[in-house]
Chain A
Amino acid sequence: MQPLCITAFTATCAAGAGRAELLDALTAGRSGLRPNDFGREPLATWVGRVAGVEQAPLPVEFSAYECRNNRLAWLGLQRDGFLDAVVAARRRYGAQRLALVLGTSTSSIGATEEAYTRLTPAGEFPEDLRYQAVHTPHSTGEFLQRVLGAGSVGVTVATACSSSAKAFAQGARLLEMGIADAVVVGGVDSLCGSVLFGFNSLALVSPEPCRPFDAARSGISIGEAAAFALLVRAGNDGGGAPRLLGYGESSDAHHMSTPHPSGRGARLAMNDALNRASLATRDVQYVNLHGTASLKNDEIEAEAIAEMFPASTHASSTKGWTGHTLGAAGALEAVITLLSLESGLMPGNLNSRQLDPACGPQVRLANARGAVRHAMSNSFGFGGSNCVLLFAGAEAA
């Protein structure tokens, strides 16, 4: 495919609000995970909770969209001049040529959960939560469409943990086909009861901070994040911008909540991304792995990486810093991958002490530095949905 330029990008998660804080936390090995204090009866686990969401109401004109997820989206837009960059793109191309593709898994479900805890004696939602705008999966997408003034496509991708990686792929196609001239892609997911207790019911939640690829890993730590990127075709505003070189998508066709035992879909998606970018694995210096710290995912992903990549490739999961931010993970880790391309920092696997024997030499415990020209980000989700993104730094493409 024709490379696309990423003219602005930002992320807000437990490890940091905005690129500078996030890069600083990555460099210093400072995790954003903390003992779970979310909800009325907090599960005994660790979470990547973003500070200050409770104290940051939406502007009054957007009050119909009040909920944790939309607050987090709003906070995320304020960093790194992202909102200004979108406004400039809207002026340049016109609102009708600005699209939004948002990935999320649970969107505003926290508001629906809250309504069920405050039903009236007649069994109805409380007055303040009777707006359809926060009881539907497109809530955050619709909110962002309005905030950004995006008059072209405005759609939510909800494919669980691959959602916001797939937003990049969908956005890329909109540019390729000339449907839009600038696309805001991103992911927003926030803590809620459904995911904490739901993943717990599947015995996937760790009682300690998650340890991706550790031989003694004990499950995931759930996090929350808002991450965004602005995509345009190369030649438009692209000077000095990193590039999206390719995307790869596949389905496991195996099981709703367990990855294919030989990583069939993961390998298909990685190869699809490499083919679309006309690159080989030896060209990729850093891979940001899905690496949830679940037993199955990490074993299968490690095996696939060990077979496909040369020993020189540095691979890691950054979920030890951020937690697994579910539908936001694809966009958050795309931002981390872009930070790696920009800074040369290749993160290790924070919290992990002894690598699983399935890991090849690619998976590293410690941070490293080097010239990162091409970098990949993996996102594999429930329902067997896989998406892999391949990026280049500003000079390489």
Chain B
Amino acid sequence: MPTKPVRLYVNGVALWSERLPGWDSARAILRGEVAPPADAAPRPAPQLLPPTERRRAPDTVAIALEAAAAACRYAELPPASLPCVFSSMHGDLAITDYMCATMASTPALVSPTRFHNSVHNAAAGYWTIAADCTRPYTALSAGEHSFGAGLLEACVQAASGGENVLLVAYDIDARGPLAPVARSKHLLAAALVIGTERGPRALAQFDLEVVGGDALIATPARAANAALVAGNSTESSLPVLEALALGWPSADTRDVLVLATPALGVHLRLRPP
């Protein structure tokens, strides 16, 4: 537990996956009011990137930047103003496959662009470049709990700095011989803006609470929603997004436990903002 209570607000939200392509359409799907689209949406082309880079960008960069920009728009905050926490279990698995295949065959011919895109902080780097954001960013990984670890760090940063922090969590499908081992599926990026002040479109407030123990069980997502992104580590963001999508017409609080490690949880007792 933090030594003193920390009140935080969810001031922005975004989501992108092939069958949850953007918060506005995903909101009704997450609430169970609308069926998800039968066809997968095409990969987004983040408008913040220069036109020449939109199609060439790695998948992780494309979906992370799409979600990041949408969360900033939702929160009505300029992207350049926000420290950001990017979190991904695997980073860009397509580039990992390329790098390892190239190392096994023709290492001296490795592409310099693919190499610099292979760093785990590539999406964060592209985001800060595109947004001209000189605020700090970090890029985290915590296995299957990468979303929760990122959420906790974003909360800690927001509380420590007394400001809004952008959280972007994402993972993509595994490719090549790595696929059966890494077992990651779908494209999925989720983003939140978390701050110490209530924003103009705040979705919820909560007090930062961290719980430990060996028997923690994360709040599950609705089965129909989980099925849309199953196998992607960022699916652990869904229970939070569902709670935000449901909003406050029928409840005063919604409790969500997100794991940051197998034995550490972030307990969000979400309340109306």
Instruction: Produce 1/0 per residue, B94-136, CB < 8 A to A.
Output: 0010011111100110111001111111101110110111111
| A173-B156, A173-B160, A385-B121 given; A264·B103 CB < 8 A | no
Contact status B149-A257, CB under 8 Å? no
Shortest distance between the CB of A66 and any CB in chain B (Å): 15
Contact status B89-A154, CB under 8 Å? no
Question: Given the complex of chains A and B, what is the CA–CA distance between A387 and B136 in angstroms?
Answer: 9
Q: Among the listed A138, A255, A257, A383, which residue makes an inter-chain contact with B142, where contact means beta carbons less than 8 Å apart?
A: A138
Contact status B117-A256, CB under 8 Å? yes
Question: Given the complex of chains A and B, what is the CA–CA distance between A115 and B178 in angstroms?
Answer: 9
Contacts of B119 in A (CB 8 A): 105, 158, 160, 256, 382-383
Contacts of A174 in B (CB 8 A): 156
B212-243 at interface with A (beta carbon < 8 Å): 212-213
Q: Does residue B272 face the partner (Cβ distance < 8 Å to A)?
A: no
Contacts of B112 in A (CB 8 A): 198, 201-202, 257
Contacts of B137 in A (CB 8 A): 159, 251, 385
Contacts of A193 in B (CB 8 A): 103, 107
Q: Does residue A21 face the partner (Cβ distance < 8 Å to B)?
A: no
Contact status B103-A138, CB under 8 Å? no
Contact status A138-B124, CB under 8 Å? no
Name the residue of chain A whose CB is nearest to the CB of B210.
A179
Contact status B128-A251, CB under 8 Å? yes
Report the stretch among B13-21, B66-74, B195-203, B256-264 that lies at the interface. Answer: B256-264
Q: Among the listed A113, A155, A176, which residue makes an inter-chain contact with B103, where contact means beta carbons less than 8 Å apart?
A: A113
Question: Given the complex of chains A and B, what is the CA–CA distance between A62 and B91 in angstroms?
Answer: 24
Q: Does residue B157 face the partner (Cβ distance < 8 Å to A)?
A: yes
Shortest distance between the CB of A270 and any CB in chain B (Å): 13
Which size bracket describes the interface of B in this complex?
A: 35 or more
Contact status B181-A265, CB under 8 Å? no
Contacts of A105 in B (CB 8 A): 119-120
Q: Does residue B173 face the partner (Cβ distance < 8 Å to A)?
A: no
Question: Given the complex of chains A and B, what is the CA–CA distance between A131 and B183 in angstroms?
Answer: 11
| A138-B146, A173-B160 given; A178·B178 CB < 8 A | no
Shortest distance between the CB of B77 and any CB in chain A (Å): 16
Q: Does residue B141 face the partner (Cβ distance < 8 Å to A)?
A: yes
Instruction: Produce 1/0 per residue, B74-90, CB < 8 A to A.
Output: 00000010000000011
| A136-B143, A179-B2 given; A155·B149 CB < 8 A | yes
Question: Given the complex of chains A and B, what is the CA–CA distance between A193 and B103 in angstroms?
Answer: 6
Q: Does residue B138 face the partner (Cβ distance < 8 Å to A)?
A: yes
Contact status A153-B4, CB under 8 Å? no
Contacts of B177 in A (CB 8 A): 115-116, 119, 123-125
Contact status B118-A198, CB under 8 Å? yes
Contact status B115-A158, CB under 8 Å? no
Contact status B134-A264, CB under 8 Å? yes
| A136-B90, A152-B264 given; A253·B115 CB < 8 A | no
Q: Does residue A117 face the partner (Cβ distance < 8 Å to B)?
A: yes
Instruction: Produce 1/0 per residue, A372-397, CB < 8 A to B.
Output: 00000000011111010000000000
Q: A138-B141, A158-B91, A158-B119 are in contact. List 20 more A-B contacts (CB 8 A).
A: A125-B178, A125-B181, A131-B181, A136-B89, A138-B143, A151-B261, A173-B160, A193-B103, A194-B99, A197-B108, A198-B112, A200-B108, A201-B115, A253-B133, A256-B129, A383-B122, A384-B129, A385-B121, A385-B124, A385-B136
